[in-house]
């Protein structure tokens, strides 16, 4: 490792991050409401995608249960919105998702690969259909109203959640915990043999990733004001983070952020005017990325950056 370069790079990256954060934090002060609302959606996708990548990035288990955790957050907010103060409500939304994920995680221990993917998808669809059936048969009405919160508050809370999510990802990646997770992704059997408690590790990480999705759902509900199981547990919320993370590249910390930001921005631009073309473009991008950019945009950037530094640091790496 070339330590000199790392040391030089750090204050620069930190400074840049700080600048971006300040910029994002002050945006509601001088920008009209509509772009702020759009930006909230973009950040929401970043939170879900980063949350997804916490578990699925290093372990390479593709989860399609994001919609379940997101939806649970939304429902917590809808049911308890009038009773609890906002910060408690959001933490609670996250916690309920956390517990649900612990439960699902313990159930799916034996499942790998394709079985895990379809199981997670099945469980979120089951919750959606069950709620729909419950509401039509026992509640009399489908859907609920949520106490509305003004858009600036929603924006700031979403921003805070996203910062916490990113910070968590960063800390996990840097720790022994993250290393163990990556070893599960490389070879689970070998990881077991060197004494990693694969089961507990996977379950806890799965639950952490669900926490952020639940929290994002809890705050998003207050902006949508009306929700029903079809909105809250829309399977698109399961697919989108996967596609966004892969588009951005899960190998790097900034990959999912980049992928989510770009695609969510594209969605904000196109979805109201040309929804079909947007989804068409989305599918095309996905296929192109899988075929030609297996490590996503971040992989491309890293490759390009490495090539740039190769001249200066020839043969010093490895």
Partner 1 sequence: MGGIYALIAVGLGLQYGVGRVLNVSHGEFIMLGAFATWTLYTVFGISPLISLVICGPVLFVLGFIIHRTLFQYLRGKSESIGAFADNSLLASFGLLFIIQNVALLIWKADIRGYSYLESSVSIFGALFAAHRLVALLFAVGISLVFYYFLTRTRLGKAIRAAAEDPETAQVMGVNIHRVLAICFGLGALMAAFAGVLISMMYEMQPTMGLEYTIIAIIVVVLGGLGSITGSLIGGFILGLIGSIVTYFDPGLSLIAYYVMFILLLLVRPTGIFGK
Q: Which residues bind partner 1 (CB under 8 A)?
A: 60, 62, 107, 110-111, 113-115, 117-119, 122-123, 125-126, 129-130, 132-133, 136-137, 235, 239, 242-243, 246, 276-277, 279-280, 282-287, 290-291, 294
Sequence-ordered list of residues with C-beta below 8 angstroms from that of 192, at least 6 positions apart, any chain: 198
Sequence-ordered list of residues with C-beta below 8 angstroms from that of 159, at least 6 positions apart, any chain: 24, 25, 43
**176-186 and 198-224 helices cross at what angle (nearest 10)?**
100
Strands 144-145 and 226-227: antiparallel
Structure token digits, residue 157: 């809370």
CA distance 186 to 148: 45
* Nearest alpha carbon to residue 97 among 143, 35, 54, 159: 54
CA distance 65 to 239: 9
CA distance 51 to 270: 25
CB of 187 to partner 1, least distance (A): 11
Burial class (CB in 10 A: 0-12, 13-18, 19+), 66: buried
CB of 299 to partner 1, least distance (A): 14
CA distance 251 to 80: 38
Question: Is the CB of 87 or the CB of 122 nearer to partner 1?
Answer: 122
CB of 115 to partner 1, least distance (A): 5
CB of 63 to partner 1, least distance (A): 12
Burial class (CB in 10 A: 0-12, 13-18, 19+), 106: middle
Question: Is the CB of 211 or the CB of 282 nearer to partner 1?
Answer: 282
CB of 298 to partner 1, least distance (A): 17
CB of 239 to partner 1, least distance (A): 6
CA distance 136 to 129: 11
Question: Is the CB of 107 or the CB of 179 nearer to partner 1?
Answer: 107
CB of 300 to partner 1, least distance (A): 16
Question: Is the CB of 79 or the CB of 287 nearer to partner 1?
Answer: 287
């Amino acid at each position: 490792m070339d330590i000199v370069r790392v040391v030089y790079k750090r204050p620069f990256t930190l400074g840049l991050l700080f600048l971006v954060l300040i910029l994002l934090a002050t945006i509601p002060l001088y920008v009209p409401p509509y772009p702020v609302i759009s930006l909230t959606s973009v950040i929401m996708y970043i939170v879900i995608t980063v949350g997804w990548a916490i578990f699925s990035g290093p372990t390479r288990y593709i989860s399609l249960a994001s919609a379940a955790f997101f939806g649970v957050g939304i429902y917590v907010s809808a049911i308890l919105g009038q009773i609890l103060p906002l910060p408690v409500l959001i933490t609670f939304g996250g916690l309920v998702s956390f517990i649900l994920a612990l439960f699902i995680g313990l159930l799916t221990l034996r499942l790998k690969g394709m079985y895990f993917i379809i199981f997670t998808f099945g469980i979120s669809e089951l919750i959606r259909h069950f709620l729909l059936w419950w509401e039509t048969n026992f509640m009399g009405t489908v859907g609920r109203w949520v106490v509305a919160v003004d858009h600036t508050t929603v924006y700031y809370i979403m921003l805070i959640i996203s910062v916490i999510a990113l910070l968590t990802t960063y800390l996990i990646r840097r720790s022994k915990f993250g290393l163990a997770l990556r070893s599960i992704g490389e070879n689970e059997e070998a990881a077991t043999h060197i004494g990693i408690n694969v089961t507990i590790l996977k379950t806890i990480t799965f639950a952490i990733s669900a926490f952020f999705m639940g929290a994002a759902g809890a705050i998003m509900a207050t902006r949508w004001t009306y929700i029903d199981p079809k909105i809250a547990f829309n399977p698109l919320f399961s697919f989108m983070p996967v596609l966004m993370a892969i588009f951005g590249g899960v190998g790097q910390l900034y990959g999912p952020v980049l992928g989510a930001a770009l695609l969510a921005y594209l969605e904000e631009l196109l979805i109201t005017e040309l929804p079909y073309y947007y989804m068409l473009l989305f599918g095309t991008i996905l296929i192109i990325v899988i075929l030609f950019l297996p490590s996503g945009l971040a992989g491309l950037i890293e490759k390009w950056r490495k090539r740039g530094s190769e001249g200066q640091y020839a043969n010093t790496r490895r």
